[in-house]
Structure 1
């Protein structure tokens, strides 16, 4: 237990980095982290460095694992299963693809065109931006392991239930016809050496960091502002634990935004610290990552309105339910 606590505090939460940045702010900048300016600078520098370190390491590991599952192999594996089993595998596949909602859509198109069941591809589409191995460790580094594991479990349940319901509704005819003519997954994959996999993983780290760095900086900046500048009573007046509508507001506000989980985590961290319910914060985070407006616009190009509305409606209702459940049982996690 002591070893686990050390790993959790030093490798995930990076207490050493927290203390180092505290020394930097107080001794170099001459500011106290107990004051607004000093606290904001400490929050920003500490969270940015911590997230980039964890993100780089985790994406490398995940990408190395992912290199064994190119689209063609994934198609063959998923093609063997149908029904709830296929939905579960589709959702689990999403956990090893470190993609935002927009970059998941090309794979969704490829899987659909390859003849995989529509429900399976939607389970993948829901889980891919929402839940991945990196998010587990990042959530644990910011909150704790109970919250991290709980988030992953409910995220996977949402993906499986959402995909299963879409499958039951028989909505295949609402996919644009050109999608079924795309044969991009039929290209044979070259075998990769260990060096190829390492090079691929390093390339993925650079690619994803280049794509998300701005959102991380913005997210941490917003988190620092919430944490140190916005009065707690101003936030709790709208999103307080006693406000029954807080989950609805957080979910709806999150949908038009575009970021991935790495950019929204610092905001969720600051909201919880200000007295916002755990479920409310997680609903905001899920709304941003799973239902960002750009991804909905992209998806509209490949599916018809009825299927799009069904997808958005199912995921929105699922996120709201999850938010209320976490708020009701937050005492089990914090």
Structure 2
């Protein structure tokens, strides 16, 4: 009973921040004189509440994750991954991506570093898929939007996709498809300097500032689109386009997501609004995965690092994986909802 009450408090007050929702409701109704049950009032409440909630959770979680990450500088990470081969290496590469809260474009320089250091191609691609797709921060923020079951399931399937994708690329033996200059980059085994507690705190603060600077605009755009979908676009329209009655909804959501550029934090408010309109959870997750793992800018950047054949194989593997995941989640949505 006590444990249940604790987790209920954690979910409602810490993750979902129902206290904040109530405060914003009072602001909208008492100060602005608008009802949150009406379109304008509801949009303002959605925008202010989701924006503040995301930035609070993001700041706290990135600080904690960065503090942990400070114990694993690139040199140490390379040494750890360099000693592990095969499926174990792919799993470790995917798991490493969960402690790097980067968007897909930010993950590519690290991918280049790993590749130039001579790490197996499959491991580096497992990292490249996992890093923008899943991390500890996204897990907890997903829980605040969709609950624990869906959040955990999203992370698990994201890791599976990363491991499977990296394994397939490894088995295909595509090392020759990496641009020559990447292999020629000199890898230096630098000494690993131990950081003091103050150094780690300073590093974590800088990471929070850096990531907030990079994502704030996408968060605001995402929340704005989410507010519009939630309060202004009729449910019938959303259901007709990407609803459960459209057998091509997952394909359409994936195709729409790929040209967009945002990280998971900017995508979540849109996903929340779509889910609230009755869009299938698999369709929502496919959209999120396409935006975060296959954004057009990241594909353009990756094209400068790998040759067309490897790039096409990477996009194909990830796209097919996202589509399969979407249809499976829609088929078994009763387990999660």
Helix, strand or coil: the match of 1:170? coil
Question: How big is each residue's C-alpha offset from its partner over 1:279-310, in whole Å with a ceiling of 9 and x where there is no partner?
Answer: 10110010000000000000000100000000
| Residue ranges of structure 1 left out of the alignment (5+ in a row) | none
1:185 offset after TM fit, Å?
5.2
Q: Does 1:166 align with 2:169?
A: yes
Alignment of 1:1-334 (within 5 A): 1-184=4-187, 186-334=189-337
Matches of 2:162 and 2:82 in 1, distance apart?
18
Greater alpha carbon shift after TM alignment, 178-187 vs 277-286 = 178-187
TM-score (norm: length of structure 1) = 0.99
Give the deviation of 1:188 after TM superposition. Answer: 2.7
Deviation for aligned residue 1:187: 2.8
Deviation at 1:190, TM superposition (A): 2.0
Distance in structure 2 (CA, Å) of the matches to 1:156 and 1:37: 39
User: 1:80-119 deviations in whole A, cap 9, x for unaligned?
Assistant: 1100000000000000000000000000000011110000
Is the contact between residue 111 and residue 185 of structure 1 (CA under 8 Å) also seen in structure 2? no
Offset from partner CA, 1:240-284 (integer Å, 9 cap, x none): 112110000000110011000000000000001111111101100
8 Å CA contact 1:110, 1:185 repeated in 2: no
State how far apart, in whole Å, the 1-side matches of 2:104 and 2:192 are: 24
Cα pair 1:110 1:183 within 8 Å, conserved: no
CA contact (8 A) 1:64 1:198 kept: yes
Indicate the RMSD between aligned Cα atoms, in angstroms.
0.7
Shifted more, 174-183 versus 159-168: the winner is 174-183
CA shift, 1:183, in A, is 2.8
Q: Is the 8 A contact 1:71 1:185 kept in 2?
A: no
Shift of 1:184: 4.8
Aligned equivalents of 2:31, 2:54: Cα separation in 1? 23
The question of whether the paired residues in 2 share the 8 Å contact of 1:91 and 1:124 is answered with yes
